[in-house]
Amino acid sequence: MEIKIMKNILDRNQNKADEVRNLLALKKVLMVNLISSPGAGKTTLLERTCEELCSKYRIAVIEGDITTDRDAQRLKKYNIPIVVINTEGGCHLDSHSISKVLDSFDLENLDVLFVENVGNLICPSQFDLGETFKLAMVSTAEGDDKPGKYPMLFREAKAVLLNKTDLIPYTNFNIDAFRSDLNSINGQIPLFEISCTRRDGLDELYRWIRKQIDNYKRS
Residues that bind a copy of itself (CB under 8 A): 2, 5, 9, 37-40, 65-68, 70, 89, 91, 118-123, 126, 139, 141-143, 145-146, 148-152, 164, 166-167, 170-172, 197
Which helix (H) or strand (E) element contains residue 92?
none
Tally the C-alpha atoms within 13 A of residue 49's C-alpha that lie toward its C-beta: 26
- 91 in Cβ contact with 120 (< 8 Å): yes
Which residues are within 8 A (CB) of 39 and not within 5 positions of it... i.e. 6 or more apart? Answer: 119, 139
Tell me the closest approach of the beta carbon of residue 211 to a copy of itself, in angstroms: 30
Tell me the closest approach of the beta carbon of residue 31 to a copy of itself, in angstroms: 23
Nearer to a copy of itself, 42 or 50 (CB): 42
Nearer to a copy of itself, 40 or 102 (CB): 40
Tell me the closest approach of the beta carbon of residue 185 to a copy of itself, in angstroms: 10
**Sheet with 59-65: strands ordered across:** 82-86, 59-65, 112-116, 30-35, 133-139, 159-163, 191-193
Nearer to a copy of itself, 132 or 140 (CB): 140
Nearer to a copy of itself, 80 or 141 (CB): 141
> Strand pairing partners for 60?
113
Tell me the closest approach of the beta carbon of residue 130 to a copy of itself, in angstroms: 20
